[in-house]
Amino acid sequence: MIEEDRKISIEEFDGKKYQIKFVEPENKAILTHYLHNVDNKASKHYKKDALNVLKNFVEYKNEENIYLAEEEALQHLLFEVENVPFPTPKNYKFKFIDLFAGIGGFRLALQNLEGKCVYTSEWENAAKKTYQKNFGEIPFGDITKDRIKNYIPENFDILCAGFPCQAFSIAGNRKGFADTRGTLFFDVEDIIAKHKPKVVFLENVKNLVTHDKGRTFKTIIEILEKKLGYKVYSKVLNTMTHANVPQNRERIFIVAFDPKQVTNYSEFKFPDKIKLTKTIHDVLEKGKQDEKYYYSKNHQYYPELEKVMNSRDTVYQWRRVYVRENKSNVCPTLTANMGTGGHNVPLIKDDYGIRKLTPRECFSFQGYPKNYVLPNLSNGKLYMQAGNSVTTILIERISNEIIKVL
């Protein structure tokens, strides 16, 4: 009998069940990447290893204990990876890779613009689960390892990377390049140098610009411009002013073009501001939510919350010992630690009391559509994923300007 954590059950149209046993952690990534690219040249990059996985590590058996041929097995798996809320586009206009992919904010945006993702990397297991549920693809793991980098196909147009921001964040320890998470930028540099994509699209916290008196940001720009030869544009944009999403979220965006491949790079411009027409009520779930999200009246902090929280038109933020109102009547910046105790928890007052935002509401404040699947994970993990994510609508607006130039 195959152990429960070592198998996936795939139900075919006739109701028969097949069990797939994986031994190596990257085998699922290899197979799903191959299947997602069967209709383009990137598939040859994965084909040999994918077939070896099937031959050496995968056991297929139907109800009559008859082993399936590799090609038939692949067809069953193909159905599995395509039968998801956000399948990869069949007719695509450009190819991109998704590094430090998180839960797929970049991918969602670029697929909406008819882009095809040919490689994904993300090390955090819970994020991988969310990514798989929505895109049918399992990301490769630790991008610092050469064997993982070697799975990146030779040719693609755009490199996307929301590289880890904790090292530069006000909420983090602000060690920057002294922090191992900060040095992950140099892995991005290695990939750019080897593959020379037409465009590099990076996102990080606003504090990256001023970190270490601006020296960290200057280093990144100099590497892109002087060492790698790219023409670089950067700008701090806010979700509520540039995406019509009622969240006060400032991030630095860096877009770099290879002038040898994109001669009209000077035509690029970041998207203009747009009017914020949506309010928090366009995002919040209607009716009473699960009781676990509400503060009981005998909670030690309830008197303080009740005294301060008198508006239903904004999202408040619990800051350990006090409540802060967002004066612009939008949601304050969602953070990765909002599910860990009392710090940075977004709160609202509704018809039924004072409560935390639900994970679904947090995902909506990042622009994720209602059919985006939240898997069976702890709320703490889901809050972390929402807080670490990009605002997908803003990524799409910037990407649209990139595509115009391409």
Residue 155 — φ and ψ, nearest 5°?
-115, 125
Separation in Å, CA 1 to CA 7, 28, 59, 60:
10, 20, 11, 13
165 tagged catalytic:
yes
Amino acid at 94: F
Question: Across-strand partners of 20?
Answer: 8
Nearest-angstrom CA–CA distance, 83 and 62: 21
CB 256 within 8 A of CB 200: yes
Is residue 347 within 8 Å of 354, Cβ to Cβ?
yes
Count other C-beta atoms under 10 Å from residue 297's C-beta.
Answer: 11
Q: By three-state DSSP, how is residue 20 classified?
A: strand
Nearest to 284 by CA among 312, 254, 303: 312
Closest to 105 in 3D by CA, of 161, 171, 143: 161
User: Which residues are CB-contacts of 112 (< 8 A; sequence separation ≥ 6)?
Assistant: 396
Q: Of 117, 165, 331, 362, which one is the catalytic site residue?
A: 165
**Distance between first and last Cα of the chain:** 52
How do beta strands 158-161 and 94-99 pair? parallel
**Cα distance between residue 182 and residue 248, in whole Å:** 25
What are the residue numbers of the active site? 165
